Copies of this chain bind each other. A is one copy, B any other.
Amino acid sequence: MDHADDAYRSELERLRTEIDAIDLKVVDLLAKRQEQVKQVMALKQAHQLPVYHPAREEDLLYARRRQARDAGVDPDYIEELYRIILRQSRVAQSGHMARTGIRTGAKVLIVGGYGEMGRYFEKWFAGAGYEVRLMGRNDWQDAGALCNGIDLAIVTVPIAATDDIIRRIAPHLPPSAVLTDLTSIKKTPVDAMLAAHQGPVLGLHPLFGPTTSTLDKQIIVATPGRDPGSCQWVIDQLSAWGAVIVTSDPQEHDEVMAIVQSLRHFATFAFGRFLARKNIPLARTLEFSSPIYRLELGMVGRLFAQDPSLYAEIIFASPERRTLLKEYIGMLNDSIDMLDTGDKSAFIAEFEKISQWFGPFGEQAMRESSFLIDKLIERF
Contact = CB atoms under 8 A, between A and B. Distances in A.
Contacts of A142: none
Nearest to A73: B31
Interface stretch (A163-171, A196-204, A284-292): A284-292
A248 B285 CA distance: 11
A198 to B, nearest CB: 30
Given A67-B24, A326-B339, A277 B331 contact: yes
Interface stretch (A97-105, A124-132, A175-183, A358-366): A358-366
Contacts of A329: 329, 332-333, 335-336
Interface stretch (A77-85, A145-153, A187-195): A77-85
- Copies of this chain assembled into the complex: 2
A288 B219 CA distance: 7
Given A24-B67, A299-B365, A369-B302, A290 B207 contact: yes
A253 B309 CA distance: 37
A64 B21 CA distance: 11
A350 B316 CA distance: 14
In this complex, the interface size class of chain A, counting residues with CB under 8 Å from chain B, is 35 or more
A119 interface: no
A38 to B, nearest CB: 10
8 contacts: A26-B29, A27-B68, A87-B378, A219-B289, A260-B289, A274-B327, A294-B368, A311-B347
Contact of A22 (B29, B208, B292, B361): B29
Which 5 residue pairs spanning A and B have beta carbons closest together?
Answer: A301-B365, A305-B362, A31-B71, A308-B351, A276-B357
Interface stretch (A8-16, A109-117, A133-141, A232-240): A8-16
Given A316-B347, A326-B336, 18 more contacts: A11-B43, A15-B40, A22-B36, A23-B60, A27-B68, A264-B293, A295-B369, A299-B299, A302-B365, A311-B347, A312-B347, A312-B351, A316-B344, A325-B335, A329-B332, A329-B336, A368-B379, A372-B375
Given A287-B246, A339-B322, A366 B302 contact: yes
Contact of A27 (B71, B325, B366): B71
B302 A351 contact: no
B290 A295 contact: no
A20 interface: yes
A20 B56 CA distance: 11
Residue with the greatest number of chain B CB neighbours at <10 A, chosen from A74, A83, A87? A87
A47 B1 CA distance: 14
A27 B73 contact: yes
Interface in A212-244: 216-219, 221
Contact of A322 (B40, B87, B304, B342): B342
A284 B256 contact: yes
Contacts of A36: 15, 18-19, 22
A361 B304 CA distance: 9
Given A270-B331, A278-B259, A304-B354, A246 B366 contact: no
Contacts of A273: 331, 350, 354
Given A285-B260, A364-B301, A23 B33 contact: yes
A154 interface: no
A296 interface: yes
Contact of A276 (B30, B40, B252, B358): B358
A34 interface: yes
A78 B28 CA distance: 11
A280 interface: yes
